[in-house]
Amino acid sequence: MIQENLAQVQQTIHEACALANRANDAVTLVAVTKTVDAKVTESLIRLGQLHCAENRVDKFLAKKEALQAYPEVRWHFIGNLQRRKVKDVINEIDYFHALDSLRLADEIQKRAEKVIKCFVEVNVSGEESKHGISPEEVEHFIRSLAEHTQIQVIGLMTMAPFESTEQEQREIFKKLHLIQKQIANLKFKHAPCLELSMGMSNDYPIAISQGATYVRVGTALFR
Ligand SMILES: *Cc1c(COP(=O)(O)O)cnc(C)c1O
């Protein structure tokens, strides 16, 4: 049941916040609705869950169209985005979680009609299959975005490897938090970088313990 699942996830977030001495509202739940249809997504919205995320352009556009009656929804795009699809999607979203190349940034700059809140995706674990830029390159990459007036780097995003231990997850999230603080200390106007998008169904309590401000949860809401 979605209602119970949502309550359970919210409860787990509150408990993780309490354990970390953080306020409940320090963490935003982003519901990853990529595996469910517009109807199920609508039932979640009607329960008050207004941050939703998708990772496929065509499915997202169809869903947003179907849910036009809910302009209050904040849409997050969390998948890797091909440059040729930027123009279709960038003005339909509020947050983009997977900025990981200058060429993509250039295309967003060219196509966006408003300032897009972006997370720079970082490949902390070093897994070859993962998207994202390496930790060593984050500062240089963010510096290179200063002239991209349509991009606001609000934070960093990462994913822990699918089969990692809690200890490994903790290390990865801790490292992203460290990088985030270093960038925030630079006080870039174009990159305040105060947010951390990390944590999925199997590791969001750990991510919250390490400072996550946005958790992206799918499976735990829809099982
Ligand atoms: C699918 C997905 C999620 C949600 O994963 P769950 O394990 O279903 O919670 C989070 N982030 C990204 C980038 C995803 O693709």
pLDDT value at residue 50? 98
Helices (H) and strands (E) in the chain, counts: 9, 8
The rounded distance, in Å, linking the Cα atoms of 101 and 126 is 16
DSSP characters over 115-176: PEEEEEEB--S--TT--SB-GGGHHHHHHTTTT-TTEEEEEEE----TT--HHHHHHHHHHH
Model confidence pLDDT, tens digit, residues 174-199: 999 999 999 999 999 999 999 999 99
Rounded to the nearest angstrom, the distance between the alpha carbon of 188 and the centre of ligand 1 is 29
| 49: CB partners within 8 A, 6+ apart | 6, 29, 31
Model confidence pLDDT, tens digit, residues 103-137: 999 999 999 999 999 999 999 999 887 799 999 99
pTM of the model: 0.97
Percent of the chain residues topping a pLDDT of 90:
96
pLDDT value at residue 45? 98
Model confidence pLDDT, tens digit, residues 61-111: 999 999 999 999 999 999 999 999 999 999 999 999 999 999 999 999 999
The rounded distance, in Å, linking the Cα atoms of 164 and 124 is 13
Tell me phi and psi for residue 155, to 5 degrees.
180, -165
Confirm if 174 and 210 have CB atoms less than 8 A apart: yes
pLDDT value at residue 127? 86
Report whether residue 180 contacts ligand 1, using a CB cutoff of 6 Å. no
pLDDT value at residue 128? 83
Confirm if 109 and 144 have CB atoms less than 8 A apart: no
Model confidence pLDDT, tens digit, residues 143-175: 999 999 999 999 999 999 988 999 999 999 999
Rounded to the nearest angstrom, the distance between the alpha carbon of 106 and the centre of ligand 1 is 26
Query: Of all atoms in ligand 1, which is nearest to the CA of residue 221?
Result: 9
pLDDT value at residue 130? 78
Structure token digits, residue 73: 């929804």
Rounded to the nearest angstrom, the distance between the alpha carbon of 219 and the centre of ligand 1 is 8
Report whether residue 210 contacts ligand 1, using a CB cutoff of 6 Å. no
Rounded to the nearest angstrom, the distance between the alpha carbon of 211 and the centre of ligand 1 is 18
* Residue 33 DSSP SS3: coil
